[in-house]
Structure 1
């Protein structure tokens, strides 16, 4: 029998979900995507998540993991970047369990993606400290030590040269300022050198949509630490949320 769990990835533009075989690391059936409601209010997002789960036609007993762009403490969302401010201090895990009638595990989106890369992807069997960053609307961060997730590492909010790092080096900043890849790589060099100095990791993994174009900027970085693209791309959040929900069920 397959070991199944549902993974839901709540993003700023889309809410994606999939039924996952957590042993093989494969989706069972097609991934479902529905646009994120404007304003990002909890009730509206919960309704869309319910619709995504319905479309997956999964058994009622299957655990559900939800990853979300906020640090999560005891099921409470602590931050609200690019979403409704009502999420700050919001009992999200309890709220979603009540709305969906299921046991839910809530996790930060970068943490879920990083965990998936350790279990199934670029950092599988890697010992020591792995740092994954996701370069998108902001910069998400995940830290995993010997396969154990260290949650809520908000590495995009490190202060660098008087700015939140993500205000200078995220994927959206590259697009908004019209930076060439070499120009952007100069900013990324400053960021990753700073992370390297602080944490001395064994491996950096770079995720987010721009990781598909990794050959345009990763070779321009000069670091002691190996730095590689994520392998799971847009499936990483779904896979990691599902696996964490299964492991913690």
Structure 2
């Protein structure tokens, strides 16, 4: 069974081709930028080698440096492409949050209104972070209500509220992970686990939206950011 599942997974080369195709769709100049960055790095190192009379050594170092720079640029463009694909989708912020590495626990959509604005719950070293999706004039009250509700369960724990979006005072989707990573580390690992346990019993505040429920909606997968 495990072998059949592994055989269905695309190989590394196929994965790179798929990512390259996504980059090309999001930015037609993306792959040329990757190529030029690698070639440019190689050229600079070779020139340094010619000047210092260490050509073969610089060629070896240049190839390694070119591959490294190319992969870094490729990864950055892939990340931007994934953000562009997620942008505008319901649950995009949750997908980005779930792609974070480290001791983070993400509970998507602990609150939703009839306009499908969302509030997600994140627990980590900073404490508790509430992240909203939707226009600022609509989600502000949702965040305030959820902050009060969460505060009753985790007394004394720092609670942050962040609006994710493109409006004034909101954090763009592409900067959401970085924004959370910059928050102060207020808790140690045992305290983080304790907060997770205490919030595990918190019921979701999800009233039934008016009007037809969306059919076939899926939460987009979080991008694998490196």
- TM-score, length basis structure 1: 0.28
Say which structure, 1 or 2, has more relative contact order (CA 8 Å, 6+ apart). 1
- TM-score, length basis structure 2: 0.30
Q: Which has the higher helix share?
A: 2
Larger Rg: 2
